[in-house]
Structure 1
């Protein structure tokens, strides 16, 4: 018999889940591992490897985190979260969670799934970017897919390194510097069979470097996949005003405040998840004005067209921006 999990309502988690923290511990300095389960012990919805959930950490505030555990009818969801001292408080909230607390999360979503008909998978993780890669590895082992993993991390900061080693055996290579990464990965990319796909999750400079190396080795763009884990600290930016095209309302956006925050503070509902310019959930259409693009979601062509903005990170390049709201 199929049993219905307890669902919760609310912006961003409508149709989501109310889950209980059953484990919370440090994996390594600055990275906390949290295990969530249904209060009634029922199986949770299955998910595609590379999926994430949005965790609501305050009213109208949520952050997205990759799922690291088993993906088929799991009895728990697991996330590993790096403490961001420069963030808005979401990671600190996660680090303060204790077993027994109940939290609200969205259903899993994926924008970084494995290509099922790929001949071989080259999986590259940088720092906390290991979380979706671990999910990929679990599925690859379970389904007997051909894969190899390169994990770049600094000393003592290799979250899940032991777990990856147990899953991968000789298919795992660890490095600790950009030079070591290039020294190992460039020859790998230069000698891959047709039908191989490469997946990178980590900081933006590493993703850019891997994409450049793949291009130089003749890889078609369709076989190169990536997911960044955030834009990192951004300049406060100059103040500007956003005009809402439908109502004519003017919304001031002070320096240090994102356009998304300014809109939400005015009671204007804008769907959002990651708030880091990665997921694309908060994308808005732009009617007029120049944009200072800071996101990692829009393509170069989309940014050049000037008709879309990710308000969680991007700003007006001038003193006024008109958006389709």
Structure 2
């Protein structure tokens, strides 16, 4: 159940660092790419040699005005093929399908001050937030955690545009962002936004909570890779279809492969749109999302099809 899609052509592809590649895309089917709010992401449909992948990528600041979209993709060693395909196969002139932008990580307009925290490739939505706040003359600060400066994607651009608002932390010399040290006296009308590795996100949110930050003032974006696992069979009761989920395939991808239009949005275990009722199972659900509560996980009657899977042989869904 995806929204509108666009056929686009890559008009520019360049390395940002040794491991990050930027793509600029423009519609080629008579449509105009609409402006996107800061924090938005799109889904890229990637036709790899082995299978069709649909991966979410946050939009960079240049996408705010519409017309063209830009994403930055980190090459990862444990990639299911998506990042490797982007780095090795996509270049200027490549054509692909993308979704309309979706924003699950918006700026809170009622906040008086905004604290932006990014780790690694998590800078992509954070950079767009910084630009939108800068254009609107809003109060903000940006904390950027990087291994070292050569690996800091867009670092020089951020420093040149936002100056002293940008604070750096180099992990290769032991520097670490800490809420208590960096933000000792934040007002109640301050909101914090964090995107980066899961461990960093958890640490920042836990530290902020321990310091008394209101939960509604804390915002995080997580895009999880579905990960692999042992194959298992899935019965789609209402569709009267049975399909085997492959070792390196997500449950959602297997469902889509047999032509069933399953609900989804972020494809990263965060939004809750792909939640599906479990009718029967002969094993344990491996919950890998950040949406279901602990009680819902223990009940075992729901699964997020985009990232979670079964440790067992057979799963029956109300789909």
Q: One fold, TM greater than 0.5?
A: yes
Equivalent in 122, 125, 138 of residue 131 of structure 2:
138
Report the more deviating stretch, 73-82 or 258-267. 258-267
User: How many pairs does the alignment contain?
Assistant: 311
Q: How far has the Cα of 1:124 moved from its partner?
A: 0.5
Q: How far has the Cα of 1:92 moved from its partner?
A: 2.4
1:298 matches 2:287: no
SS of the residue aligned with 2:62?
coil
**Contact persistence 2:39–2:104 (CA under 8 A):** yes
Equivalent in 55, 63, 67 of residue 44 of structure 2:
55
The match for 1:180 is 175
Alignment TM-score, normalising by the size of structure 2 = 0.86
Cα 1:299–1:161 shift into 2, 3 Å: farther
Q: How far has the Cα of 1:217 moved from its partner?
A: 0.3
Structure 2 unaligned residues grouped into runs of 5+: none
Equivalent in 231, 237, 242 of residue 234 of structure 2:
242
**Contact persistence 2:113–2:138 (CA under 8 A):** yes
1:259 matches 2:254: no
1:111 matches 2:100: no
1:28 matches 2:17: yes
Q: How far has the Cα of 1:97 moved from its partner?
A: 1.7
Cα 1:216–1:203 shift into 2, 3 Å: same
Superposition pairs for residues 185-200 of structure 1, below 5 Å? 185-200=179-194
1:208 matches 2:202: yes
**Contact persistence 1:50–1:67 (CA under 8 A):** yes
SS of the residue aligned with 2:61?
coil
**Contact persistence 2:223–2:269 (CA under 8 A):** no
**Contact persistence 1:129–1:229 (CA under 8 A):** no
Q: How far has the Cα of 1:317 moved from its partner?
A: 4.3
Q: How far has the Cα of 1:245 moved from its partner?
A: 3.3
SS of the residue aligned with 1:37?
strand
**Contact persistence 1:119–1:194 (CA under 8 A):** no
SS of the residue aligned with 1:168?
helix
Cα RMSD of the aligned pairs, angstroms, is 2.7
Equivalent in 139, 161, 168 of residue 167 of structure 1:
161
SS of the residue aligned with 1:114?
coil
**Contact persistence 2:280–2:315 (CA under 8 A):** yes
Q: How far has the Cα of 1:196 moved from its partner?
A: 0.6
Equivalent in 57, 61, 68 of residue 60 of structure 2:
68
The match for 1:322 is 316
Structure 1 unaligned residues grouped into runs of 5+: 1-10
